[in-house]
Structure 1
């Protein structure tokens, strides 16, 4: 449109009409005379607005999604880090709880037997020291450890000290074939000698070939002169089998040791022997026998049972 006198007059008229319509609309409120025109305009231009919105919103949503995704990724990484830390702490706590439980059991044995012990941790096994069943502990001469001291844990006899360094010591395990310890049977006091057989039960030769022994009987250490290498009363194991072909001089037993030699962690070296033999007091309490359940049988009269002078629902014949 060219800038002429008529065009400028038309523009002024349109502006004046617009202001007039705005004034009438404001004063009319909900009853505004231009409400119908507004609705018609909404009906005409609404689809166009929806189309524009649908074209623009995915872009905005994508931007928000990328931003939120970054935030979620950061939070996920943080949660994974926290989860890993918790798992590590839980594992550490489990290990500590296990060691505390082992230590408690060992202290109970030491208290029952009146053994003075030096606690130690297993730091190596025998593979580095040859083919013997041995382990290395983290205490040595500087801790008062000497050769031929008894080693135990919360279950019973572990072995004896064979080599001592300033800060470490080597322990020969009770299941080593070169290991031998004097034993005494619980209650009967029958004496014998137990020898290691690797991953098989200990072999015990009783001095009395006629001794009465049965499966389930228990043994403790008999003790050595001057309490070296063994102090008395340490639990050794339970009889799992008795050789039926007993001779006149000795009788052979096979004993399952109390100690699991493949699961050793916390042990104790007996640095002070008891003042008197504890005998059987260190043995764990025997499990109580499980009572045999009582079976109650209830007999319910059947169709063929005579009840009240009748059988099978028919009167009794005279």
Structure 2
């Protein structure tokens, strides 16, 4: 429509009429003269409005859903990240606690044997130089490690260092077939040489064919000259079987290692050996057998026991209840009396 003087007057007139109708409607309240026309208009245009709303609302809801889905998706991802972080924290706490326990056991062994150790963590397992049973630790020459140093943990002998790098080292485990360590039996101090057999117990050959050895006897390392490759007194394992000597000059026994070679984590490399041989002092105290309770047999009536007036047998002829003046001495049989004058 063209912007003319007549159109402007018409617009002003419509605005004035609208204001007048609004004023009349407000002042009329519930009795407003416009209430009836409003209801007629609502009846006429209500179905059209509902139809349009039925078409438009799903589209609007879909748009809202798409917008909210992005927000919900980001919330879910955030919660998943937080859940993962919590699991990692819990896992790290458990790992830290386990490592702290392993380190505590290691320090106790080092203290008992007067070993100066350098703590290290196992970072890899496998054949580093063709060896069957090896581990790699995160310490090397920068930490003062050298070849042929003894490696222990809180349970006992782990192995010896074979290769040293600047920040890592390779350790040959005690159960490797190429591993041999001098041993000493607890108590008798009999000397032998133990060799690894993989997953099987160590094979320990005692130099004395008549050595008095039994299952359960414990074995420690004998030690080497200048403590290389082995320091003395490190727990190795316990005897699980003894082979008949058959008159041989040596006696062979199998020794189950204390160390679990498939679950190593924290280890210690002995950088300075003990001043004196600790012998058996590094071994934990042997468990003492608990005393068995003695049972006292119950008193039973013997053929020489007498009976009390109430019929209760008493040991040694002594009545346990009531009194009687004609109690018989022990071993005396009562005589029967006749009541018919015989």
TM over 0.5: yes
Where in structure 1 are there 5+ consecutive unaligned residues?
1-13, 293-318
Go from structure 1 to structure 2 and tell me whether the alpha carbon gap of 1:29 and 1:209 turns closer, same or farther (over 3 Å shift): same
Q: Name the structure 1 match of 2:117.
A: 117
Q: 1:53–1:126: structure 2 CA closer, same or farther, 3 Å change rule? A: closer
What residue ranges of structure 2 are gaps of 5+ in the alignment?
Answer: 1-13, 293-342
Asked whether the equivalents of residues 246 and 252 of structure 1 are also in contact (C-alpha less than 8 Å), the reply is no
Equivalent-residue separation in structure 1 for 2:287 and 2:43 (angstroms) = 89
Seen in structure 2, the aligned counterparts of structure 1 residues 221 and 81 have a Cα distance that, compared at 3 Å, is same
Tell me the equivalent position of 1:5.
none
Indicate the SS of the match to 1:59: helix
Aligned to 1:278: 278
Match of 2:334 in 1: none
Structure 1 equivalent of residue 257 of structure 2:
257
Asked whether the equivalents of residues 153 and 266 of structure 1 are also in contact (C-alpha less than 8 Å), the reply is: yes
Q: Deviations over 1:218-276 (max 9, x none)?
A: 22112234333222221111223333566453332212211122333332221212223
TM-score by length of 2: 0.67
Partner of 2:231: 231
Tell me which of the two structures has the higher relative contact order, counting C-alpha pairs closer than 8 angstroms and 6 or more residues apart: 1
Q: Does the residue aligned with 2:262 lie in a helix, a strand or coil?
A: coil
Structure 1, 108-117 or 155-164: larger mean CA deviation: 155-164
How many pairs were matched up? 280
RMSD: 3.7
| Structure 1 match to 2:336 | none
1:266-305 to structure 2, matched below 5 A, reads 266-284=266-284
- Taking the TM superposition and a 5 Å limit, the aligned residue runs for 1:29-40 are 29-32=29-32, 35=35, 38-39=38-39
Q: Give the distance between the partners of 2:275 and 2:54, measured in 1 at CA.
A: 93
TM-score normalised by length of structure 1: 0.71
The residue aligned with 1:144 is 144
Residues 105, 154 of structure 1: 8 Å contact kept: yes
CA drift of 1:204 comes to 1.4
Deviation, 1:23, is: 5.5
Q: 2 CA distance for matches of 1:77 and 1:107?
A: 44
Supply the distance in 2 between the matched residues of 1:38 and 1:212 (Cα, whole angstroms). Answer: 117
Partners of 1:222 and 1:253 lie apart in 2 by 16
- Give a deviation string over 1:77-107, Cα, whole Å, max 9, x none: 4444444555555555554444433322212
Compute the displacement of 1:157 (Å): 0.3
SS in 2 for 1:128: coil
Indicate the residue corresponding to 1:52 in structure 2.
52
In structure 2, relative to structure 1, the CA distance for the partners of 1:161 and 1:62 (3 Å cut) is: closer
